[in-house]
């Protein structure tokens, strides 16, 4: 295919945004069901309950680290792949694809080996109590075996979308999540396999997704295929892939650190919830961690549409940056930010109106301590949600145009500079509630910083385009005069 005739560079931006983002949004929402469905099934299983929810929440930061590595190479590879296609360099695009696949395989194997070897001490380090540790070990002990499946299904899905197949990327997500839901029910409620059943359902579904993606990428009629000759890593390619993926990697890595700090702080300050809970099989700390597991699940569902929207925006912006069509970038970004704001405002209203009903999904027995704190946590944590869509898209704008340093700085502002310090400080002032107040504070301040950076970044890009057109016009005029 002649990359100069690629629809990413000539088709109407609103049409492209719908074509690329809607499948990505649907796919990411469905993908979010992996962990959320596990938590709902586990918390509703009579033989597991709230301690199972605590156990899976303890393992959540580790699973975020798996996601971080997958995004390091997946988003990094997809961004560089799109830029090479925009520059009409198909051979280099194929090399990027092959190198990305190799790095996903190697990192998945390494993660699995380390996790299987040390998962018990790792879980203790991540805050598992004596009561919750067996539940965490039963779940994560199996999840580690599926590291290669998870990293490749997530990472290569970005390449599939960048390769101009957003609908196939969406179908991949449907296949994986659908398999997970069915197997969760079978393993947990029919075979009574408990936490191990939930984990086994997850890794089998990820293996199904990975197989589907690989089958597509080795087809001979695919214009960009995974080929053995391009799988040998080249340091120059790997370095650039990693540099483009570093903002996403750092964001998720810090997100993992954030949840580690959250779990430990909740375990400590959660003892406040122990009052009046005599005779309960778990302590207040475990209850607070379980409540944050509910918040994490809600956040995953609410923000996955923004992640999908951002994934749809990325190949459009990256291609047109490579093709130097900067006005198309402006149009795409403003349309996407408008859609993102609408999405998060709807999500914000849901957390205002239905916070107790949300908690009931994970607390069918309506255990009063979890009900009260969980409802308050859902209501409080998401106060700044209407600004989050703009913040995410604004930061990733810089990543899509090949400026990973500023993208990484902006993506880390909320977590490193604002949220983690706020959790540490606010919890000393307001105790358990202060942990929840930290989130809206970080959302509001980081949105202001990112919005300002995006405004000046886009303005600079448009001025660059004007200057390039002016120089091109002068060159043509000089050429015409000389002839």
263-295 pLDDT, tens per residue? 888 888 776 664 433 333 345 678 889 899 999
pTM above threshold 0.85? no
Q: What is the C-alpha radius of gyration for the chain, rounded to an integer number of angstroms?
A: 23
CB 247, CB 404: distance < 8 Å: yes
Q: How many whole angstroms separate alpha carbon 424 and alpha carbon 201?
A: 36
- Rounded mean pLDDT, 437-466: 94
- Rounded mean pLDDT, 461-465: 88
pLDDT over 70 percentage in the chain: 94
pLDDT at 283 (0 to 100) = 54
For residue 165, pLDDT beyond 60: yes
- Rounded mean pLDDT, 33-62: 84
Q: Which residue has the tokens 């890794």?
A: 203
pLDDT at 278 (0 to 100) = 39
pLDDT at 10 (0 to 100) = 80
Residue-wise pLDDT for 212-247, tens only, equals 999 999 988 888 899 999 999 999 999 999 998 987
Between 146 and 29, whose confidence is greater? 146
With cut-offs at 50, 70 and 90, classify the pLDDT of residue 483. Answer: low
Q: How many whole angstroms separate alpha carbon 351 and alpha carbon 368?
A: 19
Q: How many whole angstroms separate alpha carbon 351 and alpha carbon 354?
A: 6
């Amino acid at each position: 295919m002649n990359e100069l005739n690629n629809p990413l560079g000539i088709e109407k931006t609103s049409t492209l945004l719908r074509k690329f983002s809607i499948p990505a949004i649907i796919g990411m929402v469905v993908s979010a069901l992996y962990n959320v469905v596990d938590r709902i099934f586990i918390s509703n299983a009579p033989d597991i309950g709230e301690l199972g929810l605590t156990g899976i929440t303890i393992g959540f930061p580790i699973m975020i680290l798996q996601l971080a590595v997958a995004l390091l190479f997946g988003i990094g590879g997809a961004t560089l792949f799109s830029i090479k296609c925009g520059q009409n360099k198909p051979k280099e695009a194929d090399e990027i694809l092959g190198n990305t696949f190799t790095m996903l395989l190697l990192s998945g194997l390494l993660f699995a080996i380390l996790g299987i070897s040390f998962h018990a001490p790792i879980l203790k380090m991540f805050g598992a109590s004596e009561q919750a540790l067996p539940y965490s070990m039963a779940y994560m002990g199996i999840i580690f075996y599926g590291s290669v499946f998870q990293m490749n299904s997530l990472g290569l899905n970005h390449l599939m979308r960048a390769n101009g197949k957003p609908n196939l990327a969406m179908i991949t997500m449907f296949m994986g999540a659908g398999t997970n839901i069915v197997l969760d029910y079978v393993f947990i409620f029919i075979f009574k396999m408990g936490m191990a059943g939930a984990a086994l359902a997850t890794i089998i579904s990820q293996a199904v997704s990975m197989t589907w993606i690989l089958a597509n990428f080795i087809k001979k009629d695919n214009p960009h295929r995974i080929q053995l000759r391009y799988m040998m890593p080249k340091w120059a390619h790997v370095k650039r892939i990693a540099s483009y993926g570093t903002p996403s990697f750092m964001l998720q890595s810090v997100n993992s650190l954030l949840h580690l700090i959250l779990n430990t702080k909740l375990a400590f300050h959660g003892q406040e919830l122990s009052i009046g809970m005599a005779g309960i099989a778990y302590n207040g700390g475990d209850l607070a961690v379980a409540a944050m597991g509910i918040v994490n699940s809600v956040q995953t569902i609410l923000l996955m549409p923004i992640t999908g929207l951002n994934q749809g925006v990325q190949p459009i912006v990256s291609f047109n940056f490579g093709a130097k069509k900067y006005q198309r970038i402006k149009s795409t970004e403003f349309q996407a930010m408008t859609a993102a704001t609408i999405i998060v405002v709807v999500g914000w209203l849901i957390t205002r109106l239905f916070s107790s009903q949300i908690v009931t999904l994970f607390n069918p027995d309506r255990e009063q301590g979890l009900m009260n704190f969980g409802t308050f946590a859902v209501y409080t944590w998401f106060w700044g949600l209407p600004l989050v869509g703009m913040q995410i898209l604004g930061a990733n704008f810089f990543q899509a145009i090949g400026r990973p340093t500023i993208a990484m700085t902006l993506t880390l502002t909320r977590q490193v500079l604002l949220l983690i310090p706020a959790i540490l400080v606010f919890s000393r002032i307001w105790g358990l509630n202060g942990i929840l107040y930290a989130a809206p504070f970080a959302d509001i301040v980081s949105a202001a910083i990112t919005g300002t950076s995006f405004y000046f970044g886009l303005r600079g890009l448009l001025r660059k385009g004007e200057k390039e057109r002016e120089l091109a016009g002068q060159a043509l005029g000089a050429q015409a005069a000389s002839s």
